[in-house]
Amino acid sequence: MAQFVDKVNIFVQAGHGGNGCMSFRREKYIAAGGPDGGDGGHGGSVVLRVDTGMTTLMDFRYKRKYTAPAGGNGQGSNMKGKNGEDLIIRVPLGTVVRDADTGEVIKDMSDQEDFVLAKGGRGGWGNQHFATPTRQAPRFAKAGLPGESHDVVLELKLLADVGLVGFPNVGKSTLLSVVSGATPKIANYHFTTLFPNLGVVYLGEGESFVMADIPGIIEGASEGVGLGHDFLRHIDRCRLVVHIVDVSGSEGRDPVEDFITINNELSQYSPELARRPMIVVANKIDILQEPENLTRLREYTDSLGFPLYEMSAAIHKGTKELMRVIYNRLQELPPITVYETEYVKPLAEAGSADELRIEQQGDVWLVSSGWMERLLADINFDDYESRMYFDRQLRKSGLFERLEEMGIQKGDTVSIYDIEFDYEP
């Protein structure tokens, strides 16, 4: 039997930028031939793309690490390195991407737009960039920046308007097969449905909705008993809960107690979900053994304000009428929930200036380190506040004090990867 996987942890790593090249062309009367080192290519990004043909996260079960290609190194003759190709990761519609550490939502893949989950590193500059009237033969180039990386959780939440809930074997799968094109496996034993099934219900031109059969929920489901704990999340997006109760008495259970038990599980899983609009359906009325069961259930649901409808999914009695009721109710409800982004990436902070690698090339001071790479990747130099944050971090690290100890002079150039500025004490 095919397995349903709806929650996985993966690690993604964007490609590193290629290194810049130090090279000189050969021309008479030009110092050292003149610099012509090309820039490194940008690293490939990791991009999420919705694939409507996917229904589970099974593809991620055995592969948990995804790395995009690095950018190519620059070459002589001002040749730029090749950009790394983006790594496209396909996910089912409705996949919620969360930060593995905080659980915050990074992106809800509920539309058809691609999402860059990890951005590739910038390529390093070749020595052609560093030529000036007084520095005609720069003998240095820059390394590329590392690509972003993330540990994330992919969590599939089905995009269904209606969620069918109820004890195992109450007729949810049967109803779905009768009113839609879905073909769930149906048998007379508990937990026939081992993964959620989706079906589109068509009532007429321009009248349709998506209904999901959620695997049987039992007492204790919210604590992990049975299958309910794994699949309750798929009701999260449903605008309307259709609670199916077996009133026939054929399994010796009390319909009112069943109704109360399932509602308690929904409430313990999510109080917000328990407040979701609900329709109650009494199923298997064709084999009703004790009419009192139906009467008591109706009295109880009426007292709570939930409408009760009767049907027999097995013989298609009352199913069309129920679908019309559901469709009309959906017209009054807000659209399917889309999870808003909660994640704010924490900005990298400066380490110690003692960790920095500082090289002097004439009046140019080349600065590099692991923490400097991470800091630069988080800075938007077109934004004033971001630039001020960068300046504060450099001062916090003690960089300028160390440069002064090494003999930097006013007007010398401080070069940090692809950022340059004149030193002013």
Q: What CATH number is given to the structural domain containing 381?
A: 3.30.300.350
81 touches 39 (CB < 8 A): yes
The verdict on 9 and 150 lying in the same domain is: yes
Q: What is the DSSP track for 382-407?
A: TSHHHHHHHHHHHHHHTHHHHHHHHT
Report residue 187's pLDDT band, with 50, 70 and 90 as the boundaries.
very low
Q: Could you tell me if residue 169 is inside a domain?
A: yes
**393/299 same-domain check:** no
For 205-356, strand residue ranges (E) read 207-213, 240-246, 278-283, 308-310
> What confidence tens digit (pLDDT) does each residue in 255-273 have?
999 999 888 888 887 788 7
Rounded CA separation 26/35 (Å): 9
What pLDDT is attached to residue 303?
A: 94
320 and 267 in a common domain: yes
- The verdict on residue 397 lying in a domain is yes
| Residue 367 backbone phi and psi in degrees, to 5 | -120, 135
Burial class (CB in 10 A: 0-12, 13-18, 19+), 181: exposed
pLDDT tier at 54, thresholds 50, 70, 90: confident
* Residue 277 in domain: yes
CA 215, 219, 220, 225 torsion-angle sign: negative
Last residue of one domain, picked from the residues 157, 174, 192: 157
Tens digit of each residue's pLDDT (9 = 90 or more) over 28-53 = 665 556 788 899 999 999 999 999 88
| Domain closes at, from 297, 330, 363 | 330
> Is residue 213 assigned to a domain?
yes
* CATH value at residue 283: 3.40.50.300
Q: Provide the edge-to-edge strand list for the sheet that holds 115-118.
A: 87-91, 46-50, 115-118
In a domain, 337, yes or no: no
Same domain? For 282 and 179 the reply is: yes
DSSP 270-307: -HHHHTS-EEEEEE-GGG-S-HHHHHHHHHHHHHHT--
Percent of the chain at pLDDT exceeding 90: 39
According to the model, what pLDDT value does residue 228 have? Answer: 47
10 within a domain of the structure (yes/no): yes
**Same domain, yes or no, for 73 and 178?**
no
What is the mean pLDDT of the segment spanning 211-229?
A: 58
pLDDT at 287 over 80: yes
Please check the confidence at residue 192 and state whether its pLDDT lies above 60: no
Residue pLDDT, tens place only, 137-165: 788 888 888 899 999 999 988 888 998 88
Give the whole-number percent of the chain exceeding pLDDT 70: 89
What local confidence, expressed as pLDDT, does residue 184 receive? 47
Judge whether residue 17 has pLDDT over 60: yes
One domain for residues 148 and 294: no
Q: Higher model confidence: residue 83 or residue 178?
A: 83
**Rounded mean pLDDT, 89-105:** 93
* Cα 367 to Cα 414: distance, rounded to the nearest angstrom: 7
Mean local confidence (pLDDT), 219-244: 67
Q: Are residues 422 and 323 in the same domain?
A: no
Structural domain count, the chain: 3
Residues 152 and 167 in one domain: no
- Is residue 396 in some structural domain? yes
Please report, for residues 86, 122, 417, the alpha-carbon distance to residue 41 in angstroms, rounded to integers and kept in the order given: 12, 7, 14
How many residues in total does the chain contain?
A: 425
Identify whether residues 215 and 88 lie together within a single domain: no
- Strands 7-13 and 115-118 turn out to be unpaired
Task: Tell me if 127 sits within 8 A of 139, measured CB to CB.
Answer: yes
284 occurs within a structural domain: yes
Range of the domain at 402: 350-425
- Does residue 211 share a domain with residue 178? yes
Q: What is the DSSP letter of 75?
A: B
Same domain, 29 and 119: yes
Domain boundary (97, 127, 157) is at 157
**Are 172 and 145 found together in one domain?**
no
pLDDT at 191: 42
The mean per-residue pLDDT over the stretch 15-40 comes to: 81
* Strand, coil or helix: 133: coil
- CATH label of the domain that carries residue 85: 2.70.210.12
Q: What is the mean pLDDT of the chain?
A: 85
